[in-house]
Structure 1
Amino acid sequence: MPVATKANYFTKEQEQAARFAKALGHPVRIAILQLLNSQACCFHGDMADELPIAKSTLSQHLNELKDAGLIQGNITPPTVKYCINRENWDIAKKLLNEVLE
Structure 2
Amino acid sequence: MKFLIFVAILSCTPFLAYGQVGINTQLPQALLDIEVSDPAAPDSTDGILIPRVSAFPAVAPDVSQDGMLVYLTTTTGNSTPGFYYWNGTITQWCKLMTENAMMMCSISGVG
State if a TM-score over 0.5 links the two structures: no
Higher strand proportion, which one? 2
Task: Tell me the TM-score normalized by structure 2.
Answer: 0.22
- Bigger Cα Rg: 2
Higher helix proportion, which one? 1
Task: Tell me the TM-score normalized by structure 1.
Answer: 0.23
